[in-house]
Amino acid sequence: MTAPGTRDEDFGARLSFDRGVRGRRAVDVPAWSGDETPLPDSWLLRDSVRLPEMSQGELVRYYTALSARNYGIDSGTYPLGSCTMKFNPKVNDLIAFLPGFADAHPLAAEEGAQGTLRTLWELRAGLAEITGLPAVSLAPAAGAQGEFAGVLMIKAALEDRGELEQRRRILVPDSAHGTNPATAAMAGFAVTHIPTADDGSLDRGTIERELDETVAGVMVTVPNTLGLWERGIEEVADLIHEAGAYLYADGANLNAIMGRVRYGDLGFDVAHLNLHKSFSTPHGGGGPGAGPVCCNEELAPYLPKPILEENDDGVVRLAVPERSIGRLQQFHGNAGVLLRAYAYMRALGLDGLRAVSGQAVLNANYLRVLLDGHYDLPYDRPVLHEVVFSGSRQRRQHGVRTYDIAKRLIDHGFHPPTVYFPLIVDEALMMEPTETEPPEAIEALADALIAIAAEAERDPDALHEAPVAAPIGRLDETTAARRPFLRWQDPGAVKR
């Protein structure tokens, strides 16, 4: 794909270093007419830094062309399941960039930082309302860190109850996000997997059998990674509490249910949210994020610090919960992400958030219906925010793998979906169109996938070569992982 106006010149193949011409400048700086620099010449790095020298026009074209090789939500549909790659209104960025927020010093006196602190205070009140869990810490910097906080809180509460020795297990459905068992293990618990029943909800019989005085908690992804509602979760919550264990909600995919169902009302004790997903922060490549942890009164004393409190004098202050699990990261959390979430929440209001989840669910079901019959659908029932198809028919009949299908989608101009996850679906294709895609975009994505299914029948070998229209073709991923090139190398010189 060549960016408009670049003709055949491959801007990725030659770096700025190779393009520079000695003496060219992007900015003309007037000659210095004052005294000579007092620094001795030997301190200056004149010869050893080989900086590229380019004109401003060349520089702008170079970076514009490079940026056009990236695929982002601003370039097209991005159906990466579970990641909620939705369009984020730019006004939220502008609000987070306001100098009063962006230039605030994290160590400023609380009285002098009331604008930021009160905004965060109102955000936490909103999140408490949305989750039905009254106590909130905004500190965690990602979903996985929010989970870790939640499980450490459960651990600390059990220790105070004198039951930590005996309660060493956490039950995790096999349809949970992978971070759930990882978190439980990192917090020092043994993980017991609960199988998924035929309808895609967790298997009640196994839960009932496993629940005993050795169980510390149960972590449930709601909705689960099949994009399905966890049927009967309220009764399961009762069973868990009768057994003396805690119930954790992975709320990273709140997009599906926000404004409609609240974790607290369902019986969850603690939950984390992914503000960078559901609440509008551009994310990808590992950040930035915010994974607030919300809990009931019983677990509130264990929240990570700092939390926010409004004092009698009307000043919002940082506070440390009585039995806090401690600090997870510096200062207040990822303020830029938190501010965007606040702006988004206030702009939409409760009705708007409810409309978001309604549209997200409608869009996922539209995709489900459009693709019905072209790919296998192992859990065939109405979905919430995402739908998980399987490429097993294409594999079985034509030797085409989900991996090939995903790579071919790049040639059709789409970012691939999440693949091979959840693990319980063979050759999984997990797609989340999100509420911000218009129907035409969902139809275009479905058309591309249907065309690929037809190609799998007609010419399966061609699919093994995909992508063919992208700047970089298919990589040997094992080699890329084991022997990565960490420095630029001339593609002509690299043995493929």
Ligand X SMILES: *Cc1c(COP(=O)(O)O)cnc(C)c1O
Contact residues: ligand X, CB under 6 A: 82, 142-144, 177, 179, 221, 250, 252-253, 274, 289, 291
Question: Would you say 252 or 400 has its CB closer to ligand X?
Answer: 252
CB of 167 to ligand X, least distance (A): 23
The nearer residue to ligand X, 255 or 394, going by C-beta atoms, is: 255
Element (H, E) at 217: strand 215-221
Q: Calculate ∠ Cα 191-196-198, nearest 5°.
A: 170
Q: Taking Cα atoms as reference points, which of 309, 304, 293, 260 lies closest to residue 133?
A: 293
* Least gap, CB of 147 to ligand X (angstroms): 7
Question: Cis omega before residue 89 (within 30°)?
Answer: no
Closer by beta carbon to ligand X, 250 or else 376: 250
The identity of residue 72, as a single letter, is: G
Residue whose CB is less far from ligand X, 113 or 360: 360
- Do 408 and 464 touch, CB atoms closer than 8 A? no
Which residue, 114, 138, 104, 129, is CA-closest to 310? Answer: 114
User: Which residues fall within 8 angstroms of residue 161, CB to CB, at 6 or more apart?
Assistant: none
How many Å apart are CA 220 and CA 270, to the nearest integer? 11
For residues 200 and 236, what is the distance between their CA atoms, to the nearest angstrom? 15
Phi-psi region of 284 (alpha: psi -120 to 50; beta: other; left: phi over 0): left
**Residue 20: CB minimum distance to ligand X, A:** 38
CB nearer to ligand X: pick between 366 and 421: 421
What is the nearest approach in angstroms of ligand X to the Cβ of residue 177? 3
Q: 274 vs 324, which CB is nearer to ligand X?
A: 274
CB nearer to ligand X: pick between 143 and 264: 143
Kindly tell me which of 144 and 316 has the beta carbon lying closer to ligand X: 144
Smallest distance, ligand X to C-beta of residue 64, A: 30
Q: Least Å distance between CB 318 and ligand X?
A: 23
CB closer to ligand X out of 262 and 401: 262
Nearest-approach distance from CB 468 to ligand X, in angstroms: 31
Among 205, 193, 268, 260, smallest CA distance to 233 is for: 268
Q: Is 88 helix (H, G, I), strand (E, B) or coil?
A: coil
Smaller CB separation from ligand X, 173 or 321 = 173
Minimal CB distance residue for ligand X: 143
- When the beta carbons of 316 and 424 are compared against ligand X, the nearer one is 424
Spatial distance between the Cα atoms of 233 and 340, rounded to a whole number of angstroms: 32
Measured from the CB of residue 251, what is the shortest distance to ligand X in angstroms?
A: 8
Burial of residue 118, with CB atoms counted within 10 A of its CB: 0-12 exposed, 13-18 middle, 19 or more buried = middle
Q: Which is nearer to ligand X, 254 or 316 (CB)?
A: 254
Nearest approach, Cβ of residue 99 and ligand X (Å): 28
**What is the three-class DSSP state of 309?**
strand
* Cis upstream peptide for 79 (omega within 30°): no
Q: Are 325 and 179 spatial neighbours (Cβ–Cβ below 8 Å)?
A: no
| Neighbouring residues of 69: CB distance < 8 A, sequence distance ≥ 6 | 1, 3, 11, 12, 471
Distances (CA, A) of 225 to 220, 253, 428, 476: 10, 9, 11, 28
CB of 81 to ligand X, least distance (A): 9
H helices present in 258-388, as ranges: 263-266, 275-278, 335-371
**Closest distance to ligand X from the beta carbon of 179 (Å):** 4
Closest distance to ligand X from the beta carbon of 328 (Å):
12
> For the stretch 322-360, what's the b/e string if a residue is b when 16 or more beta carbons lie within 10 angstroms of its beta carbon?
eebbeebeeebbbbbbbbbbbbbbeebeeeebeebbebb
Contact call for residues 456 and 394 (beta carbons, < 8 A)? yes
